[in-house]
């Protein structure tokens, strides 16, 4: 799917600087940033779910640890 990403001048300038420093296209930098964001978000959701399970089953987990 193609999409248009509209950036204000300052964000575009900063993105271009990063891309130039890394020797990559602006597109590649944006795709990497999106992938990193999605991975962090998924990890947080997993961590939140794990915390909920640990809290809900704390007694059982403590008994299993004995």
Q: List, as one string, the DSSP characters of 4-63.
A: -----HHHHHHHHHHHHHHT--HHHHHHHHHHHHHHHHHHHHHHHHHHHHHHHTHHHHHH
Q: Which residues contact 28 (CB under 8 A, 6 or more apart)?
A: 19
- pLDDT of res. 7: 96
Tens digits of pLDDT across the chain (66 residues): 788 999 999 999 999 999 999 999 999 999 999 999 998 888 778 777 888 888 888 888 888 888
């Amino acid at each position: 799917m193609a999409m248009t990403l509209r950036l204000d001048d300052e964000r575009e300038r900063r993105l271009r600087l990063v891309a130039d420093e890394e020797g990559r296209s602006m597109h590649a930098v944006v795709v990497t940033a999106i992938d990193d964001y999605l991975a962090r978000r998924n990890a947080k959701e997993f961590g939140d779910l794990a915390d909920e399970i640990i809290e809900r089953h704390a007694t059982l987990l403590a008994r299993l640890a004995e």
